[in-house]
Amino acid sequence: MLAPTYTPAGTRVYSEADVEVARSIQRMRTVQGMKIAEIKAALKGAHTNGEDRTKNGQDSGIGPMLRELRCARNLKIAEVAEALDIAPSLLASLERTSLGLDIPLLQRISKFYGITLNEIMGLEPVKPERETVVRGAGVVLPRLGLGLRIERLGSGKDIMDCQRWKIEPGVHSRGSYRHEGEEFLVVLRGRFEITLEEQRVHLLEAGDSIYFRSDVPHAWRNPGVEETEIIWICVGDTF
């Protein structure tokens, strides 16, 4: 299920994106109990549904935006990687494949470039003059790792950002992150665990909700065996 590159001597070389896929395979096997054929189908769908790889021949992931931001400032990969305290190979892999990102790392990158998370994903909030009606699915945001799907249902500059999250079992934020604003989320189905300030742990079931300040470090995960679906609202254009 992995397709590494090869050196002239025949040594297999795996990228950070391959590591991301390997983690997802392990999670689908051990947490979700999926069979090999099911995992292959899931991985194929992640790369062909147009949400995080290509659409109409163009890359619609976050990688191209990261590359564009860096090049616009005439910065080298090594310079940006040093500022972010990550390996240059990781940054190169992120720009090339759009895989291996998580929200804490993406937030560090957005702060480095002086923009919000939404802006780094190519989504600029507007000031709506009229009401917004969404029927069915919203605008699918660039994928932040396999097993996490985020749909923007509505957004307004200086107002709020409303999203629907679908999180597969075992998927987590890979650390805490924080930003300005306030947040409210409600669990529609499944289970959702959120940790505030690395010590207060709240396990939410379907129908439960939580409200908290965004500047409080928060981390999350799906601790259940089924997909979790939540509505997540951030007040303020800071996500």
pLDDT at position 189 over 90: yes
Write the pLDDT tens digit of every residue in 65-97.
Answer: 888 899 999 999 999 999 999 888 888 888 887
Same domain, 189 and 224: yes
Residue 210 placed within a domain: yes
- Mean pLDDT of the chain, nearest integer: 81
- Look up the CATH number of the domain holding residue 168: 2.60.120.10
Residue 134 placed within a domain: no
Least confident segment among 12-26, 82-96, 178-192, 206-220 = 12-26
pLDDT interval class at 49 (50, 70, 90): very low
What per-residue confidence (pLDDT) applies to 81? 92
Same domain, 89 and 180: no
Q: Residues 6 or more apart from 114 whose CB is under 8 A from it?
A: none
pLDDT at position 20 over 50: yes
What per-residue confidence (pLDDT) applies to 40? 75
Give the count of domains, the chain: 2
**Interatomic CA distance for residues 17 and 96, integer angstroms:** 9
